[in-house]
Structure 1
Amino acid sequence: MRRVVAYELVSLDGVAEAPDEFITGWDSVMDDNLAAVIGTQDAVVLGRRSHDEWAGYWPGSDIEPFATFINGVAKYVATSTPLTTDWPGSTVIEGDLAAFVRDLRQQPGGDVGVHASISVTQALLAAGLVDELRLVISPNIAGRGRRLLEGLPAIAMETLRTARTPTGHLLVDLRPA
């Protein structure tokens, strides 16, 4: 069975929206961590907002290793309306998100990634479909914005790994206990 791995950048106070406002630096340890995460993924589930923002940015980006990965990977988009941007590899999820991901997990392939999409990560966590949550936690307090874990039911988590990067960010890998 495929695993669902959610990778999120969050502030110290749990904000995941607009990470460019609280991620104060990027370093080689963070690059290596991201490369390890995407190195096992061959599909990604995105929310509509993330898809549309990224479709306008990543096709012209040379920021590696993510640009090559996200431009080439199969992208499944949780939305109730047709896509308005043409980004190769993008497909609208028909029907219920949780049911789609349950089915996708049963198909052969690598890990299924969830990147940046707050509502998708929340929905899949609540449905018990996230096998691993990989966080990059900024040492900064954002003060405002959508929080990644807000509104979720109680979920017992087990810490798999923690590390500190040279720029002071924490890498925390968790899985449901």
Structure 2
Amino acid sequence: MRKIVVTEFLSLDGVAEAPDSFFTDWDDVVDASIPRAIATQDAVILGRRSYTEWSQFWPSSQIEPFATFINGVAKYVATSAPLDLDWANTTVIDSGLVEFVRDLKQQRGGDIGVHASISVAQALLAADVVDELRLVIAPCIVGRGRRLLDGLPSLRLESIGSETSPTGYLLVDYRVIR
């Protein structure tokens, strides 16, 4: 069975919204975490907002290895509104998100990533379909903004890896315990 792996950039107080505003000291350790995070993924689930923002940036980006990965990977977009599908390998999820993901997990393939899409990550965590959580936590308190873990039911996690970068970012990987 395929795994659902949520990867998010957060502040210490859990804010996931607009991480580019508080990820200011990107270092080699954080940079090296990207290829590891995407190495086993062959599909990505995005929410509409992330899709819209990313489809305007990544197709012409030279930021590697993520640009090659995200432009080539199968992208499934959770939205109920019409969507411009100009970005290669994009499919709209036309059924319920959780049911779609449960079905996708049963198909052959690699891991399925959830990147940046806060609402999608929250819905999948609440529905208990996420297998791993990979967090990069910035050494700052933002104070306001959408938080990844707000409103979720209780979840038990097992640490499967952690590292501190030279500039103080925490990279923590968890497995969801069922």
**Aligned with 1:95: secondary structure?**
coil
Whole-angstrom distance in 1 between the partners of 2:40 and 2:84: 29
Contact 1:45 1:112 in 2 (8 A): yes
1:162 match: 162
DSSP 3-state at the match of 2:105 = helix
2:45 matches 1:37: no
Alignment partner, residue 51 of structure 2: 51
* Matching residue of 1:96: 96
Deviation at 1:144, TM superposition (A): 1.1
Aligned pairs, number: 177
- The residue aligned with 1:4 is 4
SS of 1:24 mapped into structure 2: coil
Q: Write the distance in 2 (CA, Å) between the matches of 1:31 and 1:66.
A: 10
Deviation at 1:37, TM superposition (A): 1.0
Corresponding residue for 1:72?
72
- State the AA in 1 paired with 2:144: R
**TM-score normalised by length of structure 1:** 0.97
Secondary structure (helix, strand or coil) at the match of 1:14 reads: coil
- Dislocated runs of 4+, deviation >6 Å: none
User: Counterpart of 2:140 in structure 1: which amino acid?
Assistant: N
Q: Percent identity?
A: 65
Q: How far does residue 84 in structure 1 lie from its aligned partner after superposition?
A: 2.4
CA distance in 1, matches of 2:142, 2:85: 30
TM-superposed CA distance for 1:3, in Å, is: 0.5
Letter of the 2:5 counterpart = V
Give the equivalent residue in structure 2 for 1:62.
62
